[in-house]
Structure 1
Amino acid sequence: MSRPRKCRRILGTPRVTYFKPQGIPMTELDEVVLSYEGHEALRFADLEGLGQEEAAQSMGVSRHTFGRILADARRVVAQAVIHGMALRIQGGDYVVAGCQRATAGRGPGCGSGKGFADDATDRMQPTVKECNMSKIAITSEGPRLDDQMDSRFGRAAGFVVVDLETMETQYIDNGQSQVMAQGAGIQAAELIARAGVSCVLTGFVGPKAFRALSAAGIKVGQNLEGITVREAVERFKNGSVELADRPNREGGR
């Protein structure tokens, strides 16, 4: 029986998770994937200039493991730059230190949201905002927290934007999407991206809209319907909304 892989500790997931060469359609591009722990290793070693011993301690791994993560990450970035490929940042075996919500990795126990009971975690303790989850949008049939969620994304009536720290709300009307023959999902993604949200809660998201949201660094919580906006927010705050890594609808919307 193989030994389960240990989750790598990161301070937070990046806001921007997709990069592509300018002027080349997505359909013509090959794609490489950089894991969240690879992104963290690059930040520690190449941006902040930490030594491998210190960086490994911050991530809760051995120096050897950190070196391997860093080498893999550099190779992925080099592939994207040299061969003109799109770069997606997602997935891996990781846990966000100090966050109260699940952040899914592949290994058993990853993404438990319980953090680590050690000195390194005590020093970090990122807030919800540092985990890029302080401002979220919910597809809604109306402007109030007690209005019903709209299960559609691209053709939702509108979006209630909620600041999780203050619970202040803002409503973004999406009525123009109702008359669009196509591209409603991409248009909706641009609307909420301009509002500065980091996550959207909805029912169903098609592949084009999901791709646009990912490119804007916006996480997606889907499969939510039949509840109010307020209930959706509470589920998110309680950690019962799983963030998606793929769309749950084949067509648009």
Structure 2
Amino acid sequence: MPGRRMGWRVGRPRKPRIVRFDISGKITWVPLVNGLPAQKSPPIILEPDEFEAYRLVYGHGLTQEEAAVKMGISRGTLWRLLVSARRKIGYALENLAPLIIEPKTETP
């Protein structure tokens, strides 16, 4: 398409999300079968904001509205993050796939 560069985002800029869980390095959960790492599926990447939404709602028992306020996003956005996180975690558990949470790298 003329006038568009690859990598440019169409629409509104992404609103910053508040992630209070300190992710200082890559966190990897590897399923074990009889004490040995399972190598059935490629790793699943869980974004820090997906993990934060999941942690606040299911770990801390907050409502979606309360969690959205803590993260500085709308309830609808929080709901989409929860759907994505549940889907990824469910897939990783069912398929014995490693689950990786990586810190976000800021892009200029």
Q: TM-score range by the shorter chain?
A: 0.7 to 0.9
Give the aligned residue type for 1:59. Answer: M
Aligned 1:74-153 pairs, distance under 5 A: 74-92=86-104, 104-105=105-106
> Which of 8, 13, 22 is the aligned partner of 1:13?
22
Moved segments of 4+, more than 6 Å: none
Instruction: Tell me the C-alpha RMSD between the 2 structures.
Output: 2.1
Structure 2 distance, partners of 1:83, 1:25, is 9
**Structure 2 unpaired stretches of 5+:** 1-9
**Structure 1 unpaired stretches of 5+:** 93-103, 109-253
Identity of aligned residues (%): 33
In structure 2, the partner of 1:72 is: 84
SS at match of 2:68: helix
Per-residue deviation, residues 188-216 of structure 1 (Å, max 9, x unmatched): xxxxxxxxxxxxxxxxxxxxxxxxxxxxx
The total of aligned residue pairs comes to: 95
Aligned 1:190-205 pairs, distance under 5 A: none
Note the C-alpha offset of 1:18: 0.3
In structure 2, the partner of 1:96 is: none
Structure 1 distance, partners of 2:91, 2:38, is 18
Normalised TM-score (structure 1): 0.35
Note the C-alpha offset of 1:2: 2.1
Per-residue deviation, residues 14-59 of structure 1 (Å, max 9, x unmatched): 4671011221366x64110001011111111001110011100000
Note the C-alpha offset of 1:13: 2.6
SS at match of 2:11: coil
Aligned 1:178-197 pairs, distance under 5 A: none
Note the C-alpha offset of 1:6: 1.1
In structure 1, the partner of 2:66 is: 54
Inter-CA distance 12–6: structure 2 relative to 1 (3 Å threshold): same
Inter-CA distance 82–54: structure 2 relative to 1 (3 Å threshold): same
- Larger Cα Rg: Structure 1 or Structure 2? 1
Structure 2 distance, partners of 1:13, 1:72, is 21
